[in-house]
Structure 1
Amino acid sequence: MSGKLKSRAVANADAMSGVVSVNEKILRECHGLYTEPETGLIALASMLNLTLLVPRKKITVMLMGNHSAGKSSFINWYIEEHIQRTGVAIETQGFSFITSGRKRESLTGNATLHLYPHFKPLQNFKGVSEYLNTEISTSKQKKFSLVTFVDTPGLVDGDMKYPFDVDKALLWLGELCDLIFVFFDPMGQALCKRTLNIVERLNEQHGDKLRFYLSKADEAGTESDRQRVLMQIVQELCKRPGLNKCGFDMPTIYIPNPSKPSRCVNQIEEVCKTVEKTINQTVQNTLNSLEKDCELITSTVERVLKQNDEMNRHNRRTWLKGCLFGLTGLLLPVFLLGPVAVVWQLIPEEQTLYVFLGLSLLSFLLLLLARYSFRTQRTLSKKQKRRLWEQREYVQEVVRQKKKQLYEEYLRQSIGEQDLS
């Protein structure tokens, strides 16, 4: 059995048995820790008026480039299934999401937006929804279970009209994708200005996501022809100030064909390594974000409880003040009319009325102050305090321990058990 057939057999056997990779398991479990209806971090955060981002279970890779640059062919090769139509006659007209699932299925635009809620703003781009679809494959090849590809319309110059604003849609998608692969076709379309313009704008905000490839490199002629094409593309890219950076890299790739061997160096496996590296980085970022969000929830609970204790102390102080003002205000008339009323004999008769009115006003003001002082701030009930402590304990003892366990599982893939402290 050849290596390719063997890898497919193993992958399909894993798919049938429900076996998932460690990275896939970690991302799924992290997602569940956030989305659990009652105990998930999103539910806990909403009670504390916090907003957390739910981690995704897959990375998103957008493929863009000129007309007939080989984007769809690359996807078919990667998943080892002919799922995307290829060829000049049938070119990708819209945006296609290619993802791994339980069974082969094709989804229309509305179903796609339900499947990917974070991509729902695409419906705000006039005409995009009609040119949006999803292809679900059962393939598990090359970490595909952790990847969603976005195949984009081929870009051309001139009077070509798209049924939607393709430039704006690509720029918006660039915000959400983890990687952006730009394919340059050596057969006369590599210097498409529309492609270069969009790449330049994407580079302004997302330069770290961009990867450039000379696709169909085996069709570029001799080695000298290939080098000339590469030089032309690199020179054109480097004319753009934002793209003129040190260490510019453009691997040459093409779809291997056993019946048509080529001497051209094929670096297509480097693309797979880039995807795998991004998956690993995403797993690390997800676990790190989980730790930060646990710390945020814990510190917020502690802050809320501390503020509640301060409010209770403040309420007690104001209550005592209210009692003092109230008693004084009530006892003042007794002082005026009671046994000590003999003091009135010491006051000249013509001033008695003024003194009486003044003391009465003082009594009234003291009673007003008492009423104002009895206005306490709202505090948490015992049930609410207990609920907050339970949340804190759950995050500390369950979620954080789970995060530690998942991190150990992740690290165990690359280092020995004895190296884990």
Structure 2
Amino acid sequence: MFFLSFLSFSDLFACLAASFVMSGRVKSRQGGSSAVLEQATLSINERILKECHTLYTDSDKGLVRIAEEVGLNLLAPRKKITVILIGNHSAGKSSFINWYIEEHVQRTGVAIETQGFTFVTSGRKRESLTGNATLHLYPHFKPLQEIPGVVDYLNTEISTSKQKKFSLVTFVDTPGLVDGDMKYPFDVNESIEWLGELADLIFVFFDPIGQALCKRTLNLVEQLNIRHPERLRFYLSKADEAGTESDRQRVMMQIVQELCKRPGLNKTGFDMPTIYIPNPNKLVRCVNQIEDVCKDIEKTINQTIQNTLNTLEKDCEKIAQIVDKQIEDDNNAKSYNLRASGKGIMFMLLGLIIPLMLIINFMVSNASRELLVSLLGENGADMLRFYLVTISSDFVTEAQDFICFSSCYY
């Protein structure tokens, strides 16, 4: 599938849909106008990821079920990328999510508003879920329940927003991180580190209002950087509240100096764009690079689609290799069984012929010559007696040898 990089996503989807139809995996859909409308409103990227997901999860001929039948475990690809936002409290994480989806789903304020983990995703209707319902919606996050106390602080906000690329993104808003005697009802560091293993992007927000150098945040970022440095993105949030340009420069220098003290974060090419929520009623001279965040998300979505298609190809090759190996083993087993059956039939015939010849020999030996001559003629009777005498003598010789061997052995 190396040619995929030279094709547009529309061409990729056309090829994928064609192969899906040829393999018989596309089922006839007799839905109403709502299903047709939903299909028409899906973007090309959404349709590609959705069809790839269906290829894996189809109950009759899905790759997951086929793989199970041949003894291989496969995981269905996710239909959305996961973006985790971490930072100290009041760093603008919830405000960014509200701005991105253009809907107020997360509470914002100076106080600690987000005390648990909130999954913000798109859906057909506005809905809020808590606890185990969140894990049911995201089964790949179920191991998170092994961390004591975290299940009670899981929430999901389902929005109908179609803004930007939100239909392909799941945001994870994390608790605000603070130093000192602040106690969390669960191990927040372990939880965020575990989520970082499944995330496609990890946004770290540093705000310029006194909490940018939070040690808990820096320690957590350092741990995440050890495992997945390519997923981390650093932003100076609320840059419009940092005062003058010189104030912003001093804040960024302090943050960079603190980060450079950490061995894993001291690297070349360090970038920290300044972002803030646009407000048309507020005149700000600071450069706002928040659109670069959107471009980064879109770039990750495109890369995820390519990775999903590559994974689809590799999984199909794995299944094909296992099937070919099993067919080869089955053919070898058939050949072996056929040879074994032939040998069995041959030995069975020998086992029947020898007693039969002995019986015939016994009957001929006891029959009179006149009877044999009358039945077979002179030549036939002499020939029969000649061969039967030879067989009888050989049998007697073998029997004597066996008796001698047995007597010597015992």
Q: Secondary structure at the match of 1:61?
A: strand
TM-score (norm 1): 0.76
In 1, Cα distance between equivalents of 2:102 and 2:44: 22
Q: Distance in 2 between matches of 1:129 and 1:348?
A: 84
| Structure whose alpha-carbon radius of gyration is higher | 2
In 1, the alpha carbon distance for the partners of 2:58 and 2:206 equals 44
Letter of the structure 2 residue corresponding to residue 354 of structure 1: C
Distance 1:30 1:131, change over 3 A: same
1:190 aligns with 2:241: no
Is the CA contact 2:90–2:111 (under 8 Å) kept in the aligned structure 1? Answer: no
* Structure 1 pair 345–101 and aligned structure 2 pair: CA distance change class (3 A): closer
Return 5+ residue gaps in structure 2 as ranges: 1-35, 362-387
Structure 1 residues 185-194 or 330-339, which shifts more?
330-339
1:344–1:352: 8 Å Cα contact kept in structure 2?
Answer: no
Number of residue equivalences: 345
The amino acid of 1:342's aligned partner reads: S
* Matched residue, 2:280: 258
Q: 1:46 to 1:345 in 2, by over 3 A?
A: closer
Deviations 1:46-99 (A, max 9, x none): 111111110111111000011111100110111111110011235210000001
The residue aligned with 2:375 is: none
1:123 aligns to what SS in structure 2?
helix
Structure 1 residue 167 and structure 2 residue 189: aligned? yes
Is residue 118–residue 173 contact of structure 2 (8 Å, CA) maintained in 1? Answer: yes
Query: Please, which of 309, 321, 329 is the counterpart of residue 331 of structure 2?
Result: 309
* Corresponding residue to 2:119 among 65, 85, 97: 97
Pairing partner for 1:143 from 132, 147, 165: 165
| CA deviation map 1:254-278 (0-9, x unaligned) | 1111111211111100000000001
Query: How many angstroms apart in 2 are the aligned matches of 1:327 and 1:241?
Result: 82
Within 1, Cα distance between the matches of 2:227 and 2:45? 28
Over the matched positions of the two proteins, sequence identity in percent amounts to 69
SS at structure 2 position matched to 1:208: helix
Q: 1:319 to 1:231 in 2, by over 3 A?
A: same
Deviation at 1:317, TM superposition (A): 2.1
Aligned 1:259-408 pairs, distance under 5 A: 259-326=281-348, 339=388, 340-343=391-394, 353-355=403-405
Q: Say if 2:105 is the partner of 1:86.
A: no
Which of 138, 161, 174 pairs up with 1:152? 174
Q: For the structure 1 residues 126 and 355, does the alpha-carbon distance in structure 2 shift closer, same or farther, using more than 3 Å as the test?
A: same
Match of 2:60 among 29, 32, 38: 38
Instruction: Return the offset for 1:335.
Output: 8.8
Q: Which amino acid aligns with 2:404?
A: Y
d(CA) in 2 for partners of 1:346, 1:166: 92
- Distance in 1 (CA, whole Å) between partners of 2:399 and 2:180 is 106
CA shift, 1:353, in A, is 2.1
2:112 and 2:176 in contact (8 A); partners too: no
Compared with structure 1, are the counterparts of its residues 131 and 352 closer, same or farther at alpha carbon in structure 2 (3 Å cutoff)? closer
Check the 8 A contact 2:274/2:288 in 1, yes or no: yes
Instruction: Tell me how far apart the structure 1 counterparts of residues 70 and 44 of structure 2 sit (CA, whole Å).
Output: 32
Give, in whole Å, the separation in 2 of the partners of 1:352 and 1:16.
88
1:127 matched to which residue of 2? 149
SS for the counterpart of 2:65 is: helix
Aligned-residue offset at 1:247: 0.6
For 1:117 and 1:92, locate their aligned partners in 2 and report how far apart those are by CA, in whole Å.
Answer: 23
Displacement of 1:323: 3.9
Tell whether the 8 Å contact from 2:89 to 2:111 is kept in structure 1 after alignment.
no
Query: 1:222 and 2:244 equivalent?
Result: yes
Q: TM-score, normalization: structure 2?
A: 0.78
- Is 1:179 matched up with 2:230? no
1:110 aligns with 2:132: yes
2:93 to 71, 74, 80: 71
- Aligned partners of 1:15 and 1:168: how far apart in 2? 43
Output the CA distance in 2 between the equivalents of 1:136 and 1:348: 91
Deviation of residue 221 (structure 1)? 1.7
What is the CA–CA distance in structure 1 between the aligned matches of 2:398 and 2:44, rounded to whole Å? 94
User: Which runs of no fewer than 5 residues in structure 1 stay unpaired?
Assistant: 1-13, 359-421
Shift of 1:319: 2.5
